[in-house]
Amino acid sequence: MPHSSGPSASSPSCAMVDLFGRRVTYLRLSVTDRCDLRCVYCMAEDMTFLPRDQVLSIEELDLLAAAFIAAGVTKLRITGGEPLVRKGVMDLFAGLSRHLAAGRLKELTLTTNGTLLARHAEGLARAGVKRVNVSLDTLDAARFRTITRRGSLGVVMDGIRAALEAGLKVKLNAVALAGVTPDEVFDLIDFAHGHGMDLTFIETMPLGDVGVDRIDQYYPLDALRRLIETRLTLTDTTEGTGGPARYARVAETGWRLGFITPMSHSFCESCNRVRVSATGMLHTCLGQEDAFDLKTPLRAGTDGAALRATIAAAIRAKPRGHDFVIARNGTPALARHMSALGG
């Protein structure tokens, strides 16, 4: 595991402000495309994953993260696939913790499906992780099995319990699904807030081939919020965690609900995030098809100048916004004319 600060540690930082004045401080870094679940809104049941030689090594992921941190990123979220299935991922967390100790990084966190959280919760806490996001769309064991096509609700619950016992702050993420979320929304709120966890609802996004029609899954969060407000009192707040969620505090519980609405409300004007895939492709907007290859300059074996230049060029090219459209066949359609108009 490398313990230098990366290829850009001693050089001027990259320009992390885009042409629209947005400062990019948040990197979501995927360490694998693999997952041990096959959630119906995320993956097709029969997946073909990337050959391992196409995926960045743990050492390369560490160097890439260091380059972004030197350029001005202060929040780093490790994602997947399911990040905890990646061999060596805990070594990556241990190495990245040096940036927390040095004050270069304000937060190191991850999003997980929770299946391996019980095994790794204490190690994550030792590495300086303070909070994790856990995906949990239902509290019904049979429905959980159907949604994930193979998962066990009990295993995820054990993971959540272990994370809380390790001192990690847990936020639950629930994808809003027609025929599921309206039936369970109050149970989910009771469970989350009853255990001291915020809960964020997420609209389904038309990304990837999942083998089903997305229009049948989609449930707008405007409708969900109206349902919640038939029983609970919500007050909007400007509080945030650096991500795209808009939060409201529930008067009856004192805890928060988050709403991430890429379909019904654009949050592009305040976007401070970029994503890097496990293959080293930098995506500055999920709603656009443009991507920048970081793997080639990363592996060039130079002083890192090419990598820094590519990152800076990508930030300058970050688009104003996205516009998702769910087509009837479930495939993504990008209304680029809307994006050109600022949508």
Binding residues for [4Fe-4S] cluster, as ranges, are: 35, 39, 42, 268, 271, 285
Question: Could you tell me which residues are annotated as the binding site for S-adenosyl-L-methionine?
Answer: 41, 81, 135, 205
Q: How many CB atoms lie within 10 A of CB 40?
A: 22
Nearest to 160 by CA among 190, 123, 189, 120: 120
Q: Reduced to 3 states, what is the DSSP secondary structure of residue 185?
A: helix
What six digits make up the tokens of 292? 């920048």
Confirm if 79 and 116 have CB atoms less than 8 A apart: no
Q: 10: Cβ–Cβ under 8 A, 6 or more apart, which residues? A: none
Which amino acid type is present at position 113? N
Cα–Cα dist 83/111, whole Å: 8
Distance of CA 319 to the CA centre of its chain: 19
Token representation of residue 216? 């049948």
String of DSSP letters for 94-110: HHHHHHHHTTS-SEEEE
- Please give the single-letter amino acid code of residue 204: T
Q: Under a CB-based contact definition with an 8 Å cutoff, are residues 85 and 32 in contact?
A: yes
- Beta carbons within 10 angstroms of residue 187's beta carbon: 12
Asked if residue 139 lies in contact with residue 154, where contact means CB atoms within 8 angstroms, the answer is: no
The residues, ordered by sequence, that sit 6+ positions from 337 with a Cβ below 8 Å of its Cβ are none
Cα(52)–Cα(141) distance, rounded to whole angstroms? 33
What is the Cα–Cα distance from 33 to 283, expressed in whole angstroms? 15
| Residue positions forming the annotated binding site | 28, 35, 39, 41-42, 77, 81, 111, 135, 171, 205, 268, 271, 273-275, 285
Q: Which of 245, 241, 254 is nearest to 203 (CA)?
A: 245
Residue list for the binding site for GTP: 28, 77, 111, 171, 273-275
Q: How far apart are CA 276 and CA 55, in angstroms?
A: 11
